[in-house]
Amino acid sequence: MAEGEEDLPRDAKIVKSLLKSMGVEEHEPRVVHQFLELWYRYAVDVLTDAQVYSEHAGKASIDCDDVKLAIQSKMNFSFSQPPPREVLLELARNRNKTPLPKNVGGSGVPLPPEEDTLICPNYQLVIPRKQNLQALEETEDEETATPSTSQEPRADVMQTTPQRVSFPLGAKRPK
- pLDDT 10s digits, 106-136: 777 777 777 777 776 666 677 766 655 555 5
The whole-angstrom separation of Cα 16 and Cα 21 is 9
Q: Which residues contact 57 (CB under 8 A, 6 or more apart)?
A: 66
pLDDT, tens digit (0-9, with 9 covering 90-100), for 37-73 = 999 999 999 999 999 999 999 999 999 999 999 999 9
Domain 10-97 has CATH 1.10.20.10: yes
Per the prediction, the chain carries an average pLDDT of: 78
Q: What average pLDDT does range 73-100 have in this prediction?
A: 89
Predicted model pTM: 0.43
> What does the domain layout of the chain look like in residue ranges?
10-97
